[in-house]
Each structure stands twice: as C-alpha cells, then as structure tokens.
C-alpha cells in the first residue's frame, strides 16, 4: 500500500470514529428510544400550571405563597376524602424524603392539603405546613377514592410541575426531587 492510500484509509477511519456515535444516536432518536434512568417517576404536567396566585392559608391564618423567594421546591401531599391512615403515612414518607435529601433538604418545603392540622399532627410532623388551598390545578389532583393521597411538586416560581397518582412510590419521588434540586 502506497503512502497516499494509507493516509486516505487513516482519514476514513478517523472520520468513522467520529461519525459512528452520531449515526447511532440518530438511529436511536428515530426509534424513539430513551434511557430509562433519565425518565421521571411522576407524570410531567404539560404545560406547567401556575398556582402562584392562589390565596392559600396556613392554619393560623397566615398567607402561604407557592412561589418561594428562597428558591425552594415544594412537595405537596394532597389528601382525598376521609383520609386518615394513608394520609398520615404519606406525610411521614414526605418527612422521610426531606431527611434523605441531606444537604439539599434546605431547598425543599413540605406541604399537605386537605389534612386537618390537629395539634398532635403538627407536633409529630413539624416540617409539614398544613395548607388550605382552593387552587383549581391542585384541586384537579385531589383523589376521589376515600382514604387515599396523591402528591405533586411545585417549583420555586409557583408552577405545578409533576404529579404522582395515589399509591405512588416515595423512592421515585425522592429520585425526581434529587434530579430537580441541584
């Protein structure tokens, strides 16, 4: 093989090394394949709905603002009708998620809607803010099944981003939050 054809083969080989990953990626895109570990566990709300204008209140009558000036995300537990044991379990799971976030925990708020803020619950779960809200986007997420609860994630700007159906996996919620909070 003469030097000129050897250089051509080397050029084609180098071009192949750089073009092959792009061709593979294009083929995977055409096949609509996505890696499973990059998908959300919750359902993305399209388009995100604003709850920032909602006139939510805390049990003491103070206003609760979904848009947070400290740039914190909010995990909201939304109780269904006659929610008792399941709601308390979901609230306990929310506190556990908060504690597992370690350094990122300061960037996460916890809220519960539709749960009566009894003194016993407020003492047992001090990180939970029991909120009264009439927001239409949040009301749509309220389960109709008795003794059930759903969850949602609200971003720091007050946009409803993700929702989790009744029976959601708290590990999936924590995984989504750890991706969102950097």
Distances (CA, A) of 13 to 8, 20, 22, 121: 9, 10, 15, 67
Question: What's the rounded Cα separation, in Å, for the pair 19 and 27?
Answer: 12
The structural domains of the chain, with segments of one domain joined by +, span 1-33, 40-180
Question: What's the rounded Cα separation, in Å, for the pair 163 and 168?
Answer: 10
Residue-wise pLDDT tens digits, 30-89? 998 877 766 788 899 989 899 988 889 998 889 999 988 889 999 999 998 888 888 889
CA-closest candidate to residue 65, choices 1, 156, 136: 156
CA-closest candidate to residue 95, choices 77, 113, 120: 77
Residue-wise pLDDT tens digits, 108-139? 999 999 888 888 888 999 999 999 988 889 88
Fold classified for 40-180: Glutaredoxin (3.40.30)
Question: What's the rounded Cα separation, in Å, for the pair 153 and 109?
Answer: 10
Contacts of 16 (CB under 8 A, 6+ apart): none
Whether 102 shows a pLDDT value over 70: the answer reads yes
> What's residue 107's pLDDT?
92
> What's residue 145's pLDDT?
87
Whether 155 shows a pLDDT value over 70: the answer reads yes
């Amino acid at each position: 093989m003469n030097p000129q054809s050897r250089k051509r083969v080397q050029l084609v080989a180098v071009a192949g090394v750089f073009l092959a990953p792009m061709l593979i990626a294009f083929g995977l895109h055409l096949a609509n394949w996505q890696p499973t570990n990059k998908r959300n566990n919750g359902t993305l709300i399209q388009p995100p709905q604003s709850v920032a204008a909602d006139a939510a209140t805390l049990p003491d009558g103070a206003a609760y603002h979904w848009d947070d000036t400290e740039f914190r995300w909010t995990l909201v537990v939304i109780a269904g009708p006659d929610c008792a044991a399941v709601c308390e379990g979901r609230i306990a799971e929310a506190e556990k998620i908060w504690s597992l976030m370690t350094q990122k925990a300061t960037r996460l708020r916890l809220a519960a809607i539709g749960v009566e803020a009894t003194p016993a619950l407020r003492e047992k779960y001090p990180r939970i803010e029991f909120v009264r809200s009439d927001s239409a986007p949040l009301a749509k997420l309220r389960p109709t099944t008795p003794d059930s609860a759903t969850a949602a994630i609200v971003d720091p700007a007050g946009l409803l981003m993700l929702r989790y159906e009744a029976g959601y996996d708290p590990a999936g919620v924590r995984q989504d939050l750890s991706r969102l909070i950097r």
